[in-house]
Amino acid sequence: MAMVILQLPTVQRGSHFQPLSWNLRMKVALGAAKGLAYLHSAEAKVIYRDFKTSNILLDTDYTAKLSDFGLAKDGPVGEKSHVSTRVMGTYGYAAPEYLSTGHLTAKSDIYSFGVVLLEMLSGRRAIDKNRPQGEHNLVEWARPYLTHKRKIFRVLDTRLEGQYSLSGAQTIAALAVECLNFEAKTRPSMDAVVSILEGIQDSSEARKPAAERHQDPKGAGKKMTSASVGRDSDKPRRKSSNDLRKEAGRDPKPSVLHST
């Protein structure tokens, strides 16, 4: 199956980048959220540690798959609340408490998901030094606008105008704020995130034009990102990150895949 890498909420066709629609962005966000939710489940108990846009792969139907488990860690066991580890990951996506203490939890992944969700909303990179002063860090720049109904339009990608409902945009903005909370314990679980995104997906599907429902995603040079997590096993046995890498059939080293 041909896969493509998500660098931003765009698809590359030849030398041109075509922005993804609101509905497709929500579909990608939901697929990635389901992958993280599985990793955090009682069956797997794995912390991804390096969730970011470029680790999301998409197939020709824009179904999101998680990739690159090179930094994944088994979650805490017994009475332990976290895993102590050397700080690794990607600047702009890592949770603040992980950067300051090296304490890794599933909530660290949820912060990273909030960053990716914000990239989906804004069409901006998590870190972009080409932006004006004060806008280099997406989270720091956008945070003050996300909690104000009238100001969230400063964050929303202008290329999405007319494609979303106000309530839908406000719901996603509020979800991003929750995921990006400085207090890790108050961030939602990935199961809760999935439930919210499923509601958005259902409402978006009802409003989707017929032409978009049959949109052909195939195209030369198309790029995107996601991570794929298999759900093949029904056994309650806890799986290590190595097991998951083998099931997913992924090279644990970072890689870039291009559509063929």
Give per-residue pLDDT as tens, 76-108. 655 555 666 778 878 899 999 999 988 889 999
Neighbours of 188 (CB within 10 A): 18
- The stretch 242-254 carries a mean pLDDT of 45
Weakest-pLDDT range from 14-28, 167-181, 232-246:
232-246
Per the domain annotation, does 80 fall within a domain?
A: yes
Rounded to the nearest 10°, the torsion over CA 68, 75, 30, 202 is 160
Given the residues 50, 59, 68, 157, the one annotated as active site: 50
pLDDT of residue 77: 59
Long-range contacts of 196-205 (CB under 8 A, 24+ apart): 196/171, 197/26, 197/29, 197/30, 197/33, 198/30, 199/171, 200/26, 200/30, 200/168, 200/171, 200/172, 201/26, 201/27, 201/30, 203/165, 203/168, 204/22, 204/23, 204/26, 204/164, 204/168, 205/23
pLDDT of residue 72: 73
Per the domain annotation, does 260 fall within a domain?
A: no
- Give me the domain span that covers residue 141: 4-248
Per the domain annotation, does 29 fall within a domain?
A: yes
Per the domain annotation, does 172 fall within a domain?
A: yes
Per the domain annotation, does 32 fall within a domain?
A: yes
Per the domain annotation, does 193 fall within a domain?
A: yes
Q: Domain tally for the chain?
A: 1
Per the domain annotation, does 235 fall within a domain?
A: yes
For the whole model, what pTM was predicted? 0.75
Q: Is 50 a catalytic residue?
A: yes
- CATH number of the domain residue 49 falls in: 1.10.510.10
Separation in Å, CA 163 to CA 30, 69, 100: 18, 34, 39
Per the domain annotation, does 24 fall within a domain?
A: yes
Give dist(CA 218, CA 27) in Å, integer.
Answer: 17
- H-helix or E-strand containing 114? helix 106-122
Query: What type of residue is 103?
Result: H
Report the DSSP beta bridge partners of residue 256.
Answer: none
